[in-house]
Structure 1
Amino acid sequence: MVITMSKQKSRVAGLFVFVISCIFLVVTLFPYAYLVLSSLKPPREVISTTPTLLPSVFTLANYNALFHQLAIGKYFVNSLITAMSGTLLSVFLGSLAAYGLTRFASKLGNLFLLFTLGVRMTPLISVAIPMYRIIGQLGLMDTKLALVLVYTSINIPFVIWMMIGFFDNLPKELDESARVDGCGMFGTFMRIILPISLPGIATTSIFSFMLSWNDFLFALLLTSTSAKTVPVGISEFLTAYGLDLGPMTAAATIFSVPVMLFSFVMQKYIVRGMTMGAVKE
């Protein structure tokens, strides 16, 4: 009887968790679903004062208008190049710094960690003007290189703090075994530590990519035509004369796809315990 009651309580608890999870999922996905469905509505329905969830007729008119009114392909490539390059550089340099800080602990290293934390906590708007002046003095205005450098510098403190906790959990016996086999510090990092650290790198890369991909402030300040990214391009639909919501929803839908694909590809690496068995007792 006690076992039966326990099973019933367990089922009720499981059902409760399932219902709460479904409600949370619906609330979370509803804005995005409404965005996608709005992009498939006729233009008049998008700006209607009596909005509906489903379009009366599914159409690609908003996407056609988007590609006719905006150089979305060029902006998309600019966003992809700058976000990917900034992510790769920041993850590599930040991971290298985090590895060195975990393997050579010192008071200076601790001060450096506090400094990076302070940099990370600094509002981006407070460094926007100095960044603008530096990029201008370097002659890099309206170039993809300028955005890559800015995204790298912004993301490195975040990468350091993300990866330093992961490297702390890696057994130092791995480094010692690599040195016995003739690897130097950099060789150990590249051949042993990085492959084992794929779960942490995957998670950090996703967040770094999102920070760079969604940037509007620096892309607006540092670009005008050649290196303009999608967020800045989308803002052009908002003018003093009105707001063209149809193409804007289409652009936002397309803009969201790379982040989801990148997260989907990297999710298989976000699994703990890859170091199990790497060091024999």
Structure 2
Amino acid sequence: MPILLIAIILGIVEGVTEFLPVSSTGHLILATELLGFDAEKWGAFNVIIQLGAILAIVVLYWRTFWAVLEGLLRKNPMSWRFVRNIVIGFVPSAILGVLLIDNIEALLGNAVVVAWALIVGGFAILAIERFARPGEIVGVAEMPLRTVAGVGLIQCLSMIPGVSRSGATILGGLSLGVERRTAAEFSFFLAIPTMLGATTLEILRHHDALLAGAGDVGFGTVAIGFVVSFIVAIVVVKAFVAYISRHGFAPFAWYRIVAGAAALAWLTLR
């Protein structure tokens, strides 16, 4: 398969799944396995193109970020609480990510782990949907420190491929009393420093291979996946926010269970 087509396919997968509670990393790993790609060769690519999807959040919510910036300059307490909450929510995964980077990279090539994580995560979503009380906390700046720290700790579970960073943070927020839309938007905003950190680590660790285009997966190929994931993510995020504002997460849970079971069966029988 032409490498350009591979980059486009993976870019589409990333853009569609990054902000849905279905695990973008898990889907990228399964895509490389299903289509017969060398998972190790595409590992850095899969992480770095997530930054394209993150850029979509910056574009879609630029008014929010601009208002926060203006508020910081005016010493507005709400703006400072917004930034405080993003930083505190990011810190646990930043520390754990640096400490466990080698272990995390080892898991990135394990499709069986992804399949099981999809299934278990699906049932977890159904449980939270069933038992969590309606959230009363509205607005990222209004989230208390205890809730923010809890979501940050829960986000660390997403270092297991297949768990889903967005799923962990959104459902973590819901279980801690955060309203649906706020939980989703906090997840989006938290993704920015989280994925910037993960991408920086990957570039530093694999800079020479990417610059040389080792195995044809160089910065040019990454750029194509980046652009595709950016465009697709803009469309998906708009639709996702509109959907969850009115409906629940159960369809995503059942999708995870079916997809994980199908992947597990295929991996076992192939």
Q: Structures share a fold, TM > 0.5?
A: no
The one of the two structures with greater contact order (alpha-carbon pairs below 8 A, sep at least 6) is 2
| Structure with the bigger percentage of helix | 2
- TM-score normalised over the length of structure 2: 0.32
- TM-score normalised over the length of structure 1: 0.31
